[in-house]
């Protein structure tokens, strides 16, 4: 397996001693509503550069609330790594070697579309990271892009999304799974929304 990775140009070096544990000291609460932080864009770019160093031929995108200017949220950097057909195990091994950890909570992602977690200290703050390992050309990849792009293009949708998240936090929901389920109907409505 490792030989195949080297031939594909994937760098299996532990390229990122900068990736810390998901539950690192100083990390924000897992369920929270924090003002959008412009540093999240730069922190995500830093994390994507680390991933790109280890996976130079893989497409990586910043998705989720931190990628949408003005979208308050948990402050977690959601990164989508697009997996070429037949290479999931190899890419997961590289990501794991970098220090990312298996998903520790929330709604468990299926084995064919796993998620890894970690953290990165950037500009004096700890940012949690979710690395979504998504098959290239899949419906999941399209959904993550479409949701990000629709929010980015429509500040009214951003305000409604933040309002929904605020209701969940005000209801003192602290469980990741319940919080995610509480956003599901809104996310589905945005994906169906036509301009």
Instruction: State residue 29's pLDDT score.
Output: 84
Look-up of token digits 């936090």: 169
Domain CATH for 37 = 3.30.460.10
Condensed to tens digits (0 to 9), the pLDDT of residues 154-176 reads 999 999 999 999 999 999 988 88
Task: Read off the pLDDT of residues 88-126 as tens digits, 9 standing for 90 and up.
Answer: 999 999 999 999 999 998 889 999 999 999 999 999 999
- Checking if the pLDDT of 6 tops 70, the result is no
Signed CA dihedral, 188, 35, 145, 89: sign only: negative
Instruction: Tell me how far CA of residue 21 lies from CA of 133, 152, 178, 183, in angstroms.
Output: 18, 30, 23, 26
Range of the domain at 162: 2-192
- pLDDT-derived band at 195 (thresholds 50, 70, 90) equals low
Could you give the number of structural domains in the chain? 1
> How confident is the model at residue 1, as a pLDDT?
36
What are the residues facing 20 on neighbouring strands?
Answer: 119
Residues above pLDDT 70, as percent of the chain: 90
Least confident of 3-12, 17-26, 40-49: 3-12
Q: What is the pLDDT of residue 56?
A: 94
Q: What is the pLDDT of residue 31?
A: 86
pLDDT, residue 106, reads 87
């Amino acid at each position: 397996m490792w030989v195949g990775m080297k031939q594909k140009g994937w760098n299996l070096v532990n390229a990122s001693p900068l990736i810390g544990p998901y539950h690192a000291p100083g990390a924000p609460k897992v369920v929270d509503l924090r003002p959008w932080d412009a540093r999240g864009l730069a922190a995500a770019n830093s994390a994507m550069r680390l991933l790109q160093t280890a996976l130079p031929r893989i497409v990586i995108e910043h998705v989720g609330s931190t990628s949408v200017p003005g979208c308050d949220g948990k402050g977690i950097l959601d990164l989508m790594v697009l997996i070429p057909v037949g290479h999931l195990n190899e890419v997961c091994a590289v990501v794991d070697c970098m220090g990312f950890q298996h998903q520790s909570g929330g709604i468990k992602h299926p084995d064919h579309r796993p998620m890894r977690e970690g953290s990165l200290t950037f500009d004096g703050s700890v940012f949690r990271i979710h690395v979504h390992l998504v098959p290239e050309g899949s419906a999941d990849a399209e959904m993550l892009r479409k949701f990000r792009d629709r929010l980015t293009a429509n500040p009214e949708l951003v305000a409604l999304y933040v309002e929904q998240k605020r209701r969940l936090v005000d209801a003192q929901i602290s469980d990741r799974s319940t919080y995610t389920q509480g956003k599901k109907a809104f996310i589905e409505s945005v994906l169906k929304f036509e301009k």
